[in-house]
C-alpha cells in the first residue's frame, strides 16, 4: 500500500498544489479568455460522483470527434477550402484495434516502454515529441501526431522544415471561442493555424492532415467540468487528453502512457528536453489536473500498471455497452 499510495488520487485538487502553482491555477480559473458560459453552480458542477463505467458512457454520449471538411461553412467559401479533407477524420482513420497514446512526460525517460508501445496497431504522439534517439523508451511508430497551433506557428518548432512532422497523420487544433462560432474563430485564432495549414499542405500534399472542430475541444472540456467538485480552468483541455478521447473514438482499446505518472514521476517536463517544471504534469493553463482525475476514474487497468508502467487502460467507445 505504501507504494500504491504514490499513484494518482482521483480527488486531486488545486488546494493540494504548492502555493506558487496554486496562484497560477487560480489566476487561470478566474480568467475567461474564451468566453466560457457555464449553466451549473459556480464552484464546479458535479452533483454526484459517477462510477468509471458511468463516466465512460457519458463521455461516449456527449462528445463527438468532429473535424473541418472542405464543404463546411464558412470554410467552404474560402479560396483554400479544397485543401481541407473532404471526409471526417473518424471515417478515414477508424476502426482500429489496439492503440497507444504517448504523453510527452519526463517520466517516460528510462521507462523501457518502447517495444510495448510499438506493439499497438496505432500510436499517437504529441506536438514536437521525437522518437529518434528515444526509441527504447517511447518506441518508433507514429501513426498520428496531434499538434497545437503554437507548434505550427512558432519559429522554434520548425513546423514547415522539420522532418519530425512528416510521418503519419497530422491532426491540429487551436483554442477557439467557447461558442464554437467558426467565423469568430477564423478571425481570432490563438495562433495563425490556417495560414500555416495552407503552407504545410502545399509542401506535403500527400500527407493526411485534419483540423479539429472547436466544438470537440469544448465538449471534452464540459465533461471534465461537469464531473469535478470545483471549477476548473476555463481553457481547452491539453493535447494529451484531447488525443486520448480522439483515440477512444477510433480504437477498441487505448493504453495511455505516463499521463498518470508512474514511480518514475519527475518534474522533468518532457522526456526530450532538459527543462523542469511541475506545471507540465499538474497543469497551469490547461485543466490538466482534472483531466487526470477523470482518466483515473475511467481506468480499467490496475493501479500497479500505473505505478510500474505509467499505463492506463481505457475501452474504446465502440467496445462499451451503455
Decide: is 239 part of the binding site for ligand C5P (CB under 6 A). Answer: yes
By CB under 6 A, tell whether 241 contacts ligand C5P. Answer: yes
Q: In what order do the strands lie in the sheet with 96-102?
A: 209-211, 169-173, 144-148, 122-126, 96-102, 251-257, 311-315
Residue 271 binding ligand C5P, by CB under 6 A: no
Q: Which is nearer to ligand C5P, 238 or 299 (CB)?
A: 238
Stretch binding ligand C5P (CB under 6 A), from 71-79, 219-227, 235-243, 307-315: 235-243
Number of residues that bind ligand C5P (CB under 6 A): 16
Q: Whose CB is nearest to ligand C5P?
A: 240
Options 3-11, 68-76, 77-85, 104-112: segment touching ligand C5P (CB under 6 A):
104-112
| CB 205 within 8 Å of CB 178 | no
> Whose Cβ is closer to ligand C5P: residue 189's or residue 281's?
281
Task: For 50-77, give one letter per residue: b (16+ CB within 10 A) or e.
Answer: bebeebbbebbeebebbbbbeeeeebee
Applying CB under 6 A, among 45, 103, 219, 225 the residue interacting with ligand C5P is 103
Judged by CB under 6 A, the residue of 69, 235, 262, 281 near ligand C5P is 281
Q: Is 223 in the site for ligand C5P (CB under 6 A)?
A: no
290: contact with ligand C5P by CB under 6 A: no
What's the sign of the alpha-carbon dihedral 14, 18, 19, 22? negative
Q: How far is the CB of 277 from ligand C5P (least distance, A)?
A: 8
Q: Which residue has the cell 464531473?
A: 227
Q: Which residues, in sequence order, are CB contacts of 321 under 8 Å at separation 6+?
A: none
Which among 57, 11, 37, 65 is positioned nearest to 222, based on CA atoms? Answer: 37
Strand extents, DSSP E, the chain: 96-102, 122-126, 144-148, 169-173, 209-211, 251-257, 311-315
State which of residues 96, 124, 232, 269 lies at the interface with ligand C5P (CB under 6 A): 269
Q: Report if residue 142 touches ligand C5P, rule: CB under 6 A.
A: no
Cell for 7? 499513484
When asked if residue 272 is in the footprint of ligand C5P (CB under 6 A), the reply is no
**Per CB under 6 A, 104 contacts ligand C5P:** yes
- Contact assessment for residue 320 and residue 39, using Cβ atoms and an 8 Å cutoff: no
14, 45, 111, 127: residue in contact with ligand C5P (rule CB under 6 A): 127
Q: Which three cell numbers stand for residue 246?
A: 480522439
Considering the complex, state which of residue 219 and residue 239 has its C-beta at the smaller distance from ligand C5P.
Answer: 239
The dihedrals phi and psi of 305, each to the nearest 5 degrees, come to -65, -35
Which positions lie near ligand C5P, rule CB under 6 A? Answer: 103-106, 126-127, 238-241, 259, 269-270, 280-281, 288
Amino acid at each position: 500500500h505504501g507504494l500504491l499510495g504514490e499513484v494518482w488520487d482521483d480527488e486531486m485538487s488545486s488546494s493540494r498544489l504548492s502555493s506558487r502553482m496554486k496562484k497560477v491555477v487560480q489566476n487561470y480559473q478566474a480568467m475567461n479568455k474564451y468566453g466560457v458560459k457555464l449553466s451549473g453552480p459556480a464552484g464546479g458542477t458535479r452533483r454526484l460522483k459517477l462510477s468509471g463505467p458511468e463516466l465512460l458512457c457519458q463521455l461516449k454520449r456527449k462528445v463527438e470527434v468532429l473535424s473541418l471538411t472542405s464543404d463546411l461553412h464558412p470554410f467552404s467559401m474560402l479560396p483554400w477550402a479544397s485543401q481541407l479533407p473532404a471526409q471526417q477524420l473518424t471515417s478515414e482513420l477508424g476502426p482500429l484495434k489496439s492503440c497507444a497514446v504517448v504523453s510527452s512526460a519526463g517520466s517516460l525517460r528510462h521507462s523501457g516502454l518502447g517495444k510495448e508501445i510499438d506493439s499497438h496497431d496505432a500510436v499517437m504522439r504529441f506536438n514536437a515529441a521525437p522518437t529518434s534517439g528515444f526509441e527504447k523508451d517511447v518506441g518508433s511508430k507514429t501513426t498520428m501526431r496531434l499538434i497545437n497551433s503554437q507548434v505550427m506557428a512558432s519559429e522554434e518548432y520548425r513546423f514547415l522544415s522539420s522532418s519530425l512532422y512528416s510521418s503519419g497523420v497530422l491532426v491540429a487544433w487551436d483554442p477557439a471561442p467557447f461558442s464554437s462560432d467558426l467565423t469568430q474563430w477564423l478571425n481570432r485564432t490563438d495562433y495563425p493555424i490556417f495560414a500555416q495549414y495552407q503552407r504545410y499542405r502545399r509542401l506535403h500534399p500527400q500527407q493526411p492532415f485534419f483540423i479539429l472542430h472547436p466544438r470537440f475541444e469544448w465538449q471534452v472540456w464540459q465533461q471534465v467540468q461537469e464531473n469535478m467538485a470545483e471549477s476548473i480552468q476555463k481553457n481547452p483541455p491539453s493535447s494529451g487528453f484531447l488525443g486520448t478521447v480522439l483515440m477512444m473514438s477510433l480504437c477498441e482499446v487505448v493504453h495511455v502512457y505516463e499521463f498518470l505518472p508512474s514511480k518514475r514521476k519527475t518534474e522533468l517536463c518532457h522526456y526530450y528536453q532538459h527543462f523542469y517544471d511541475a506545471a507540465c504534469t499538474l497543469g497551469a493553463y490547461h485543466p490538466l489536473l482534472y483531466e487526470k482525475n477523470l482518466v483515473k476514474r475511467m481506468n480499467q487497468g490496475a493501479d500497479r500498471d500505473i505505478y510500474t508502467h505509467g499505463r492506463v487502460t481505457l475501452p474504446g467507445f465502440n467496445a462499451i455497452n451503455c
